[in-house]
Homo-oligomer: A and B are copies of this chain.
Amino acid sequence: MHPFSDNAALTIASLGEQKLLAKIRRWLGAAMPAAPHGMGDDCAVLPASPKRGAGPALLTVDPVIYGEHFDDAIAPRAVGRKLLARNLSDIAAMGGHPEAAVVSLALDPRTRLDWLEAFYRGLAALARQHRVPLVGGDLATHRGGLVASLTLLGRASGKRVLTRTGARAGDFVAVTGVLGGSLASGHHWKFTPRLAEGRWLAARPEVSAMLDVSDGLAKDLHHLVPAGAKPILFSELLPRRKGCDLCAALTDGEDYELLFTVRGTPAKAARLAADWHHAFPRVPLTIIGRLADHDAPDSGALDLAPYHGFEHFK
């Protein structure tokens, strides 16, 4: 069967990413466990077996693709670095530490050696910095294309894994760093994955759920909001990158900042922020709003409905 069709109604473009993911869940059936042990969080969580003394294992995979994630204007060293960095950000989002990576490369035979060398050197430099051994991989021929996919195995720092599920109405919403303009500023090539910050947050019992912002806050925040609740954000509180307007901060994506919820009183949330600024004096942490019951009044709150983050396959 030819895998492609020019009749859009027959193709994945007719669905978009979310509906496609729902279909894949159905197609996989019993072969795919429920999140966080299967699809649906930043990493898959492999339950700690009684035989193993350590915390649960984490598994995540993300690619970089020529013509989609990078083009001829980008230094190959930055491409290799980003391939690892975006996977490290997924481990950070669950409060884990990275243990080992494998890289799968699909390459045109005409791929330049100097391009590939710089790619691997960029990857290796970040791997050494975070002490992640690159333990293997695969090379395959792919005429006309260049797809690099990295799988990262990690482990939760304690017995607790901080997932996207766990928030409830009343929890505060907070975010690290600043949002927006990642592509224009080059932040997405240079960012430092928030690994230490993620582990610090996972060790605080009042932090109830977390993810890393990759498709824009307006889209990713929905993953943290439980049924029957809604987010009440105040637009003036949103930490924006210099030169970014509200729309950019909400929808640009590729921020690789940690978005999380905090259980408790306003004093408790303020205490967390104070402790954070002591631990990470150079990384902003901002409480940007709160989760409320679905039927609570919206007075002054930001309406997220007009804002859409990055949608794949559209």
Please give the residue numbers on chain A whose beta carbons come within 8 Å of chain B beta carbons, in ascending order: 1-6, 8, 10-15, 17, 20-21, 23-24, 27-33, 37-41, 43-44, 46, 49, 51-54, 57, 59-63, 65-69, 72, 74-76, 99-100, 102-104, 106-118, 120-121, 123-125, 127-128, 132-147, 149, 151, 153, 312-314
CA distance A12 to B140 in the complex (A): 12
Q: Which residues of B contact A72 (CB under 8 A)?
A: 1-3
Partner of A121, one of B20, B27, B137: B27
CA distance A59 to B116 in the complex (A): 23
Number of copies: 2
Q: Is the CB of B12 within 8 A of A107?
A: yes
Could you pull out 19 A-B pairs where Cβ atoms are within 8 angstroms?
Answer: A1-B114, A2-B72, A3-B66, A3-B76, A3-B112, A3-B116, A4-B110, A5-B110, A11-B112, A11-B113, A12-B110, A23-B113, A23-B117, A27-B121, A38-B133, A52-B52, A62-B104, A63-B106, A68-B140
Partner of A135, one of B8, B37, B132: B37
Q: Is the CB of A149 within 8 A of B146?
A: no
* Closest B residue, CB atoms, query A62: B138
CA distance A135 to B108 in the complex (A): 30
CA distance A144 to B147 in the complex (A): 12
Partner of A63, one of B51, B112, B138: B138
Q: Which residues of B contact A132 (CB under 8 A)?
A: 31
Given contacts A52-B53, A144-B144, A151-B102, contact A313 B59 (CB under 8 A): no
Q: Is the CB of B146 within 8 A of A3?
A: yes
CA distance A139 to B100 in the complex (A): 22
CA distance A65 to B146 in the complex (A): 11
Q: Which residues of B contact A63 (CB under 8 A)?
A: 104, 106, 138, 140, 149
Report A21 CB to chain B, min CB distance, Å.
7
